[in-house]
Amino acid sequence: MLVAYLLLAVMASPSSASDLPASGEPVSARTLSGDELLRIGEIHDVQNHFPEALTYYQQALESFRAHTQRKGEAIALTKIGLIFERQGRRQEAAIQLRQALSLFYKSPDSPVHADALFASGRVLLWLGDREEAATLFERAKQRYQRSHNAQALGSVKLQSGLLKVSDGSSDEGLREIEQVVDEARARHEQEQTLAALVALGDANWMLDRTQQAGDHYKQSLALLEQRPQTAVEAGLRIRLAAISRVTASEEQGIESAKRAVTLYQSLRDVSGEAAAWALLASLHQALGHGPEAEDAFSRALGIYRQQELIVHGIRSVSPPAATSPRGSR
């Protein structure tokens, strides 16, 4: 951040006498290099300023291409692909990341190569290409192992383990996730321990081991007491509420669902709030709480209808698909 600040300060400062040509007219500011444009883009990226970050990443990409710097080009494409992934533009992300990987294979080794493999695996998994995603996860693991990036390696193992569990290799998948739990605890990394416990809960839920899943979710909530994270807690509360329907513990599930409603409201996450109301309604209904169930159903339906109106409104003013903004290719 300091580097970018100094760069911007230099660009904004008045020209000194040595910067002036003989005529006394100021010369134009020098063009930023691809690496400098990347750094400024990263400053915007970490603050979730996606339009600004994309602008600088695109400019960096153009600079690297103009100077035939393949490694820089691959890094810029990866950065663009990662933003598209976070925006939910996964088809576009897949295109950027595919281009990045083809360049990484032709350029000197870079730590970002592993990031591109991991991100491409996540995107392809979401798009339904499970086999290719599994292959990319394995390649990412190998590169993170070589660079001794334990935290990133753990993140890939969690994704890989869940994929294995869902594809029938349950023992292997569970072992991989449990290994991440143990390693993260040994490193005293609370964030990854939390992520691994949630993944372990999800894996057990996939296997219909609801009691074990609930235990892992409760362990995750205990960790959040030390360092609260509203969005993570909301997701855990909704999981516990859903599990309560299977474990015949609807009263506890109602409390979890109510808490989820409150958390999603604080996040202004209307989709999450609607899902929590609908779940709360079904739990009340299971216990014969007619008025409470009707009220919760009504609240969920009201949100869904409002969202439907908003979607229709957006569609009515949207430009034709041909004029919609697209990512750089």
Q: What is the DSSP string of 111-148?
A: HHHHHHHHHHHHHHHHHT-HHHHHHHHHHHHHHHHHTT
65: three-class secondary structure by DSSP: helix
Distance CA 50, CA 86 (A): 9
**Residue keyed to tokens 């991991």:** 118
- Integer angstrom CA distances of residue 114 from 87, 156, 236: 21, 10, 30
Distance CA 110, CA 132 (A): 22
CATH fold of 241-313: 1.25.40
Cβ-contact 173, 203 below 8 angstroms: yes
- Please report the pLDDT score of residue 106 as a whole number: 86
Q: Is the Cα dihedral 248, 252, 254, 258 positive or negative?
A: negative
Token output for 239: 């999981």
Instruction: Give the residue from 175, 216, 220 showing the smallest Cα distance to 194.
Output: 220
Same fold, 31-146 and 241-313: yes
- Please report the pLDDT score of residue 10 as a whole number: 32
Distance CA 49, CA 55 (A): 10
The pTM of the full predicted model, rounded to 2 decimals, is: 0.80
Contacts for 311 with CB less than 8 Å, ≥ 6 apart? none
Q: What is the pLDDT along the chain (329 residues), one digit of tens a residue?
A: 333 433 333 333 333 333 333 333 333 335 899 999 999 999 999 999 999 999 999 999 999 999 999 999 999 999 999 999 999 999 999 999 999 999 998 887 888 999 999 999 999 999 999 999 999 999 999 999 999 999 999 999 999 999 999 999 999 999 999 999 999 999 999 999 999 999 999 999 999 999 999 999 999 999 999 899 999 999 999 999 999 988 899 999 999 999 999 999 999 999 999 999 999 999 999 999 999 999 999 999 999 998 775 544 443 333 333 333 333 33
- Please report the pLDDT score of residue 30 as a whole number: 59
- Cβ-count burial of 147 within 10 angstroms (0-12 exposed, 13-18 middle, 19+ buried)? middle
Instruction: Count CB-CB contacts under 10 A for residue 217.
Output: 24
Distance CA 81, CA 95 (A): 8
Q: Where are the domains of the chain?
A: 31-146, 158-188, 241-313
- Please report the pLDDT score of residue 309 as a whole number: 55
Instruction: Count CB-CB contacts under 10 A for residue 187.
Output: 13
- Cβ-count burial of 272 within 10 angstroms (0-12 exposed, 13-18 middle, 19+ buried)? buried
Distance CA 327, CA 113 (A): 21
> 31-146 belongs to which CATH class?
mainly alpha
Cβ-contact 275, 256 below 8 angstroms: no
Distance CA 186, CA 269 (A): 35
- Please report the pLDDT score of residue 12 as a whole number: 37
- Integer angstrom CA distances of residue 78 from 54, 71, 139, 327: 11, 11, 16, 13
